[in-house]
Amino acid sequence: MYPLKFEPILKQTLWGGDKILPFKHLSDNLTGVGESWEISGVEDNESVVANGPDKGFTLIDMVRKYREELVGEENYARFGNKFPLLIKFIDAKQDLSIQVHPNDELAKKRHNSMGKTEMWYVVDADKGAKLRSGFSEQITPKEYKERVFNNTITDVLQEYEIHPGDVFFLPAGRIHSIGAGAFIAEIQQTSDITYRIYDFNRKDAKGNMRELHTDLAREAINYEVLDDYRTKYDAVKDEPVELVACPYFTTSLYDMTEKISCDYSELDSFVIFICIEGSCRLADNEGNELAFCAGETVLLPATTENITITPEEGGNVKILETYV
Per residue of the chain (324 residues), give pLDDT as tens. Answer: 999 999 999 999 989 999 999 999 998 889 999 999 999 999 999 999 999 999 999 999 999 999 999 999 999 999 999 999 999 999 999 999 999 999 999 999 999 999 999 999 999 999 999 999 999 999 999 999 999 999 999 999 999 999 999 999 999 999 999 999 999 999 999 999 999 999 998 887 788 888 999 999 999 999 999 999 999 999 999 999 999 999 999 999 999 999 999 999 999 999 999 999 999 999 999 999 999 999 999 999 999 999 999 999 888 999 999 999
Whole-number pLDDT of residue 191: 95
Residues 6+ apart with CB under 8 A from 315: 257, 278, 279, 280
State how far Cα 35 lies from the chain centre: 10
At residue 307, the pLDDT reads 97
Q: Which of 129, 230, 121 lies closest to 174, judged by CA?
A: 230
What architecture (CATH level 2) is domain 239-323?
Sandwich (2.60)
Check 196, 202, 210, 281 and give the catalytic one: 196
What H or E segment, with its residue span, contains residue 214? helix 214-220
Residue 273 contacts residue 297 (beta carbons within 8 Å): yes
- pLDDT for the residue 27: 87
Please tell me the CATH superfamily of domain 4-231, with its number: Jelly Rolls (2.60.120.10)
Determine the pLDDT at residue 217.
97
Which residues contact residue 269 at a Cβ distance below 8 angstroms, ignoring those fewer than 6 apart?
A: 71, 72, 74, 75, 302, 323, 324
The answer to the question of whether 118 is labelled as a binding residue is: yes
Predicted TM-score (pTM) of the model is 0.96
pLDDT at 205: 74
Q: Which residues contact 138 (CB under 8 A, 6 or more apart)?
A: 223, 225
Please list the residues that pair with 245 across neighbouring strands.
Answer: 250
In 128-224, beta strands by DSSP E: 130-135, 157-161, 167-170, 176-178, 182-189, 195-198
The answer to whether the annotation marks 176 as part of a ligand binding site is yes
Phi first, then psi: give them for residue 175, nearest 5 degrees: -70, 140
196 is an active site residue: yes
Domain boundaries, the chain: 4-231, 239-323
Q: Which helix (H) or strand (E) holds 263?
A: strand 260-263
φ, ψ of residue 250 in degrees (nearest 5): -120, 130
* 8 A C-beta contact, residue 306 and residue 259: no
The sign of the CA dihedral 141, 143, 144, 150 is positive
Instruction: For the chain, give the number of residues.
Output: 324
Flag whether 159 is marked binding. Answer: no
Q: How far is CA 297 from CA 3, 17, 131, 229, in A?
A: 10, 20, 24, 27
Could you give the C-alpha distances from 86 to 42, 104, 219, 324, in angstroms and in order?
8, 15, 24, 12
